[in-house]
Amino acid sequence: MQAFDLVAREHPEARLTIAGRGPEEGALRTLAYSLHLEDRIDFPGHVDAREALRAHDEVVQLSAWENLSYTLLDAVAHGLGVVATDVGGNGEIVPERCLVTAEEARSPEAVASRILAQGTDLSARPDPAEHGLTVAEMTAAIADAYREVAA
């Protein structure tokens, strides 16, 4: 949210959606108010993935452990910008320009820089073809991996 504060200063039209519910929701709402961003941050709870992908420009997933998530795969497949931590296999989904290290993830300036790059330069967004795969080939490879594990 501190990174979004930096983005919002530069781009007054920017909005942030924090999806889901959890024990940190109250603290996040309090932080939004303390940063005077309460009118620019939405807390809708559960969101429909298809609607969310159509309604947003970027996905920011700064996780210490979650990697290769369907959220990132869907974001890339739908042409959204992605900013994610460089954990697990995230580097297999998105190029380095979309990744932040664990240390950078703690830096609002570093995260804001990546968010701005993805939001202002459409060519900076990830493209599944960069990894030599089309979306169809990528999903077929995932299906093959599941078949292999299930066999």
The predicted model gives 41-67 an average pLDDT of: 92
Beta carbons of 6 and 16 less than 8 angstroms apart? no
pLDDT value for 138: 74
Instruction: For residue 143, report the phi and psi dihedrals to the nearest 5 degrees.
Output: -60, -40
Contact assessment for residue 99 and residue 109, using Cβ atoms and an 8 Å cutoff: no
Bridge partners (DSSP) of residue 59 are 82
Q: List, in order of start, the domains of the chain with CATH numbers.
A: 2-150 (3.40.50.2000)
Task: Check whether 64 has a pLDDT greater than 90.
Answer: no
Helix H or strand E encompassing 37: none
Average pLDDT score over residue span 76-84: 93
pLDDT tens figures, 90-145: 988 899 999 999 999 999 999 999 999 988 988 888 887 776 667 677 788 889 99
DSSP secondary structure letter of residue 88: T
